[in-house]
Amino acid sequence: MIVLPTLPLRNPNITNVYVKQIFTPDQCEQILKSAKKDDWKAGKIGGYGGKGQFSTIATVRSMTQQRLRVRSDGFPLNVIAFEVSNFNSQGFSFDLSGFVSDDEPWLMRYEGAKEDHYDWHIDVGPAANASRKLGFTVQLSLPEDYDGGDLEFMNVNTKHLDLRALGSLIVFPAFRTHRVSPVTRGVRHCAVGWVHGPCFR
């Protein structure tokens, strides 16, 4: 007779997507003003097609990005870290280490003139991506400033308007499949990053 192991403790919140408005319009403007005009570079993809290196594949990902600048007082990353920690305590219960120096957060820009987008993907992968546990996005554009450009999650019911609200923080497991649909008008700005931790086990 085969004896099966005891059922593990199952967390019903492990695949949740959390949304909360955490930044004021003025704070969003401060974050955007920290961007350097000449620092925008094409976004790359890590590990696409089984490759370990990062590469530019416009049919999969078309947008520009630059490192998110953090002030000496920690803003805006300290505010994001506090809220991500709360969401983790309330739901995910992942073992987290925090932000890491070789996978810093980004400011991202999606332009309607180029129909910028990012096709369906997950945020875990090879190299620095391997220890990602939670991903986050902060909306930095007013919803009426652009069409399309929606952050969408596969098989998750989320309120469309909440995800587009200025100053909203969206937190999700790094293994949750998601995309940014093509921007068809205007420009969408956001801040994106990841919280790392030891391997899932």
pLDDT digits (tens, 9 = 90+) for 110-136: 999 999 999 999 999 888 899 999 999
What is the sign of the dihedral through the CA atoms of 109, 115, 121 and 126? negative
Question: What confidence score (pLDDT) does residue 58 get?
Answer: 84
Q: Are 69 and 32 in contact (CB under 8 A)?
A: no
**DSSP 3-state of 61:** strand
The 178-180 sheet, strands edge to edge: 61-62, 117-121, 178-180, 151-153
* Stated length of the chain: 201
**DSSP 3-state of 172:** strand
Q: Are 175 and 124 in contact (CB under 8 A)?
A: yes
Q: What is the mean pLDDT of residues 86-114?
A: 96
Question: What confidence score (pLDDT) does residue 44 get?
Answer: 84
End-to-end CA distance of the chain: 28
Q: What is the pTM of this model?
A: 0.92
Q: List, for residues 50-92, the tens digit of each pLDDT value.
A: 555 677 888 899 999 999 999 999 999 999 999 999 999 999 9
Q: Are 106 and 194 in contact (CB under 8 A)?
A: no
Which domains are present in the chain? 18-49+60-196 (2.60.120.620)
Average pLDDT in the chain: 93
Higher pLDDT, 111 or 158: 111
Cα–Cα–Cα angle for 165, 81, 193, nearest 5°? 65
User: Tokens at residue 136, please?
Assistant: 């986050």
Dist. CA 56–CA 107, nearest whole Å: 17
Contacts of 67 (CB under 8 A, 6+ apart): 39, 104, 105, 106, 107
Q: How many CB atoms lie within 10 A of CB 18?
A: 20
> Scanning the structure block, which residue is given the tokens 């929606």?
150
